[in-house]
Amino acid sequence: MKPGKGSGCVACGFADGTRPLPGGTLLRTAHWTVEHCVGPLGVGTLIVKPLRHITGVHEMSAQESTELGPLLARVTSVLRTVVGDECEQVYVCLWSHSGRVPGHIHFVAQPARTSDIDRHGGAYGPALQMAMFAEGAEPEPGAVEEFCARVRRVLGEDSAI
Ligand SMILES: [Zn+2]
């Protein structure tokens, strides 16, 4: 459980700067980092992950656990503000299971947009995520950068954590 630099762990690579990360790091606490998702879950889907390479929620330290609740509340609140009325819900989920191998845990915080749900025939929840993965549309880098700039502005305006 100690990949880190040069280990091949994609999540560690984004966090330590050895892999290019569209949108950059949005927020860091002592134990967590927030980034834009690189997968096909749309512009505005963020990742909340521990800086430490752990592959199960049960491995979280007391300090990591203590930071997590307020951080998820803050990130989902920022998403609602930035996305606005189109945001019907913010999904927070964690799978971290690729090829049936536990990976670096990361919470996905996805704004469930009316336009995405309508485009996929009213699919919501896991069905919406499955449809978006099937579609496989990676977000435009420019749109990601623009969204991340708006997230940073909102983060700069609030004073939590
Ligand atoms: Zn890792």
pLDDT per residue, tens digit, the chain (161 aa), is 456 555 789 999 999 999 999 999 999 999 999 999 999 999 999 999 999 999 999 999 999 999 999 999 999 999 999 999 999 999 999 999 999 999 999 999 999 999 999 999 999 999 999 999 999 999 999 999 999 999 999 998 876 55
Q: How many CA atoms lie within 13 A of 91 on its CB side?
A: 19
Indicate the pTM of the whole model.
0.93
* Six-digit token string for 150: 């708006």
- Name residue, tokens 């978006």: 132
- The CA 63 to ligand 1 mean position distance, Å, reads 18
Helix 62-83 and helix 141-157: axis angle, to 10°?
A: 110
- The CA 86 to ligand 1 mean position distance, Å, reads 33
Structural domain 10-149, CATH architecture: 2-Layer Sandwich (3.30)
- The CA 104 to ligand 1 mean position distance, Å, reads 5
- The CA 53 to ligand 1 mean position distance, Å, reads 4
- The CA 101 to ligand 1 mean position distance, Å, reads 13
- The CA 6 to ligand 1 mean position distance, Å, reads 10
